[in-house]
Amino acid sequence: MLNTLSGRFLILTTVFVMLAEVMIFVPSVARFRQDFLQMRLERGQIASLALLADDMLEMDLEEELLKNAGVFNVVLRRNEVRQLALSSPIPEPIYATYDLRDPGALVLIRDALADLVNPDNRVIRVIGDPVREAGLQIEITMETDPLRKAMIEYGVNVFLLSLVISVITAALLFVAVQRLMVRPIKRVVTAMTSYTEAPEDARRIFVPDATVSELREAENALQAMQQQLTSSLRHKERLAQLGEAVAKVSHDLRNILTTTQLIADRMEMSADPGVQRAAPKLVNSISRAVNLCESTLAFGQAAEPPPRLSRVVLADLVSDVMEGERLAAGEYELSLGEDVPATLLIRADGEQMYRVLSNLVRNARQAIMATARPGEIQIHADESDTSWNISVTDTGPGLPIKAQDHLFQAFQGNVRKGGIGLGLAIASELVTGHGGSLELIRSDEGGTSFLIRLPKNIGEQNEEK
């Protein structure tokens, strides 16, 4: 019960109503005390008037009048003269005098609390104005015990009434919360559970129907999220099916092209001048097609294995990458620069980082060679307290705008004509496996710059000693 929303509303409502009644109880008890004393003054006045009407009343009748009035004596002030109208023996000295002619609210509350908490039976004097202007002033003496008992009885009745009001109010609020909040929330939870079982089923998308504006907004947001997720799942499912089909086609096509490549190699030995001129172009075309099939198959296989971290001399790694690209560039006017401290050690998988740098540098070289203009590729490395930073910068023509929008997405971020958009996707995946990031810093007509950040505080436990 306490763990439910409606149950907590029920308890809180009861508590708050009772607190409100307590705040009302104190002044109401003070008012009750004032009315009680005022009633005793009126009774004393009535008894004294009976005596004034017949001053020959017997002692027994006088005692009965005082007993019925609940006082010990009555003093009237008429025509500037104080007159003891009725009297009887007072059992003890007068403890206090209370003036009801013009009392302040705080004074009434203070006196009421004092009478309520003090269990002793005391004699008090009460002063007030006579009713119907039957004199200038009236005084009575009385015991506090009847007053206290009446105040306690009144307080108990107020408490019981407050409790009934609290229970009724809480029950009404409980029903209202159940209908307006709990039921819609349970409906949303049920819909979410059902959707989780089969998120690709569009029939399970939640349909908002709440009348409360805040709940309606939440239901609309849930519906929009489920619609977007279902659409994304369908899209990914179609891509997976397409990828599987492409992988199968690429596998068979690679086998066919490999055979064709062998035949083309033999054609190069032909004495026919026309065949000799066409054979190299045919071999290059077939080689590109084979590479495309192999890259597609490689990407379609399982994800890259986790990096095997060890201490790697970055300068040696960069030198190997650059040497391979120099051989690939041949006689082309291309400057390859290395700005890497010879003593800089990084924590990484050497083979995977070689592939990352090789992909970046190869893309840069191919982009520069496609312009038929001289160019430069520079690798710079440094370190900070938290990371190793490796930048690869070139003076090529820059990346196409369309390629920049999906740069690290497979088959979408083609950076050159004829590319398939896998190089940067693979490089980004490998860097992410190291806990780092691969970012495009700039790309314009003046060239392109990539930055690799490898954190120093990740993977120490996996480092090979």
pLDDT (0 to 100) of residue 295: 60
pLDDT at position 254: 63
DSSP state of 129: P
Per-residue pLDDT band for 454 (boundaries 50, 70, 90) equals: very high
More confident of the two residues 61 and 414: 61
Angle at 286 between CA 285 and CA 288, to 5 degrees: 65
Examine the pLDDT at 419 and tell me if it is beyond 50. no
pLDDT in the model for residue 462:
42
Nearest C-alpha neighbor of 332 from the set 363, 371, 378: 371
Residue 400 per-residue DSSP state: -
Mean pLDDT of the residues in the chain: 79
Instruction: Specify the DSSP class assigned to residue 131.
Output: G
Give 342's DSSP letter.
T
pLDDT tens-digit readout, 384-401: 999 999 999 999 998 888
Q: How far apart, in Å, do the first and last CA atoms of the chain sit?
A: 58
**What confidence score (pLDDT) does residue 410 get?**
64
pLDDT confidence band for 312 (50 / 70 / 90): very high
State how beta strands 345-348 and 81-86 pair: unpaired
Q: Which H or E element spans position 291?
A: helix 273-300
Average pLDDT score over residue span 411-436: 71
In terms of DSSP bridges, do strands 387-394 and 447-455 run parallel, antiparallel, or are they unpaired?
antiparallel
Query: Domains along the chain?
Result: 5-168 (no CATH), 213-300 (1.10.287), 310-462 (3.30.565.10)
Can you list the pairs that 243-250 forms with residues at least 24 positions away whose Cβ atoms lie under 8 Å? Answer: 243/300, 244/300, 246/296, 246/300, 247/296, 247/297, 247/300, 250/292, 250/293, 250/296, 250/297, 250/300
CA-only gyration radius of the chain, Å: 49
Report helix, strand or coil for 437: strand
Amino acid sitting at position 138? I
SS3 call for 157: helix
Torsions phi, psi of 397, nearest 5?
Answer: -80, 0
pLDDT in tens, 123-154: 888 888 877 665 678 888 888 899 899 988 98
Helix axes 5-53, 145-177, angle to 10 degrees: 150
Whose tokens are 């970012």? That residue is 439
Q: What is the pLDDT of residues 52-82, one digit of tens each?
A: 555 555 666 667 777 777 888 888 776 666 7
Query: Could you report the per-residue pLDDT of 160-191, keeping only the tens digit for each?
Result: 887 788 778 777 877 877 777 778 888 888 88
Q: How many CA atoms lie within 13 A of 400 on its CB side?
A: 12
